[in-house]
Amino acid sequence: MILSNDFSRQWEDTEKDAVAAFIATGKSGWYILGGELQRFEEALAAYWSFPFAAGVASGLDAIELSLRALGCKAGDRVLTTPVSAFATTLAILKIGAVPVFSDVDACGLIDLDEAYNVASRGDIHYFVPVHLYGHALERHKLARFREDLGTNIVEDCAQSIGARSHGLPTGSVGQMAATSFYPTKNLGAMGDGGAILTRDHPCLLRIRMLRDYGQRTKYNHEIIGYNSRLDELQAALLRAVYLPRLTRWLQRRTGIADRYSAEIRNPAVQLIGMPAGSDSSWHLFPILISPTRKGCFLEHMKSRMVSASEHYPIAIPDQTAMAGVSFEIVPNGIESARTFCKSQVSLPIHPYLNDAEVSQVIETVNRWTG
């Protein structure tokens, strides 16, 4: 079976370094908020061209703590996309804030022109855009929200480590960039983890308090915080094992994406574009299949031993859990998002796929009769 992610191959490649990192952390005798975290935060910030990074427990927490650090509170309206991992919206809901869903464009990413019109109405103070699939939203368009409207922006970069818009890393426009080290992500840990990147030192200090029970110094609790810390072991693995491989992994993802883009030729399969100036991190390789034929396509792939998955099959406001919470859909609706969700399929694109397997994925897609 050609898998969406192949962690046994990753382990084979990383075992020696991972065991060394484990031993070093064990011997240090310090397991939470220590030197490993600090060294990883410095390395991540340098990689991403930010002055500051703060490790937290997950991508979900990275978004929630970022919003909290910017002052977001219950009842505030937060503009976001209906097509993303549920965590993007969950972070908003956990604060008691009200998500406002604006529709997506043909790439499946939030339509920034439409979103700008929505934000212009004046009652929206926060925006959580998502660089979905690793495709970078146009930074000039994002910048208008801050410059013209004063909207606070937390960029959801959980899928976009390494992606650039017109030459600059995603996350560069907002006050905060939130990312995830969930194992399947481009930079994944051996468990849960996340980080916030920022240029704003006061915000960094608030994040450090929020992740550690709201204390500035030991037993001085200034605000109501969380327990959301990236542990030393994950930090050591990320810094010593995974981050040094990231550039090579991203190159491999791009190489696979280039082959898919050039060699997939099937009138029943539609490739997806991306915003102008986007240099994608290719977290996923999305395609579109007619909603009535998607089940058939997924069956075809599975029966030929190629995994294909969906990101994401249901628009967030249509999820069962949303029935009990307060949210808003913009007057123009989210029909593009709904159609997109019904059509979207992801092909395998992890860095340990070999060339023969990439060829096999292409052949299997091209042989589908639609």
Ligand X SMILES: *Cc1c(COP(=O)(O)O)cnc(C)c1O
**Contact residues: ligand X, CB under 6 A:** 58-60, 84-85, 87-88, 130, 156, 158-159, 180, 182, 192, 194
Specify the residue, 79 or 85, whose C-beta has the smaller distance to ligand X: 85
* 3-class secondary structure, 162: coil
The closest residue (CB) to ligand X is: 59
Question: Which residue matches tokens 């368009």?
Answer: 141
CB of 76 to ligand X, least distance (A): 19
Q: Which residue, 85 or 97, has its beta carbon nearer to ligand X?
A: 85
Q: Which is nearer to ligand X, 103 or 192 (CB)?
A: 192
CB of 295 to ligand X, least distance (A): 24
Q: Which residues contact 122 (CB under 8 A, 6 or more apart)?
A: none
Query: Which position has the token pair 């898998």?
Result: 3
**Residue (66 or 343) nearer to ligand X, CB:** 66
- By the 10 Å C-beta count (0-12 exposed, 13-18 middle, 19+ buried), 256 is classed as buried
Q: Which residue's CB is nearer to ligand X, number 197 or number 365?
A: 197
Report in angstroms how near the CB of residue 184 gets to ligand X at its nearest.
8
DSSP letter string, 223-287: S---B----HHHHHHIIIIIHHHHHHHHHHHHHHHHHHHHH---TT-EE----TTEE---S-EEE
Minimum distance of ligand X from residue 40's CB (angstroms): 16
CB atoms within 10 A of CB 164: 17
Tell the smallest beta-carbon distance from residue 11 to ligand X (Å).
20
**Long-range contacts (CB closer than 8 Å, 24 or more residues apart) made by 90-94:** 90/60, 91/60, 91/61, 91/63, 91/64, 91/67, 91/128, 92/63, 92/64, 92/67, 92/128, 93/325, 93/327, 94/64
Which CB atom, from 260 or from 312, has the smaller least distance to ligand X? Answer: 312
Tell me whether residue 14 or residue 84 sits nearer to ligand X (CB atom): 84
Smaller CB separation from ligand X, 283 or 300: 283
Q: Which two tokens stand for residue 315?
A: 């628009």
Q: Which two tokens stand for residue 8?
A: 């046994």
CB of 368 to ligand X, least distance (A): 27
- In the complex, the smallest distance separating the C-beta of residue 109 from ligand X, rounded to whole angstroms, is 11
Q: How many CB atoms lie within 10 A of CB 294?
A: 18
| Closest distance of CB 157 from ligand X, Å | 8
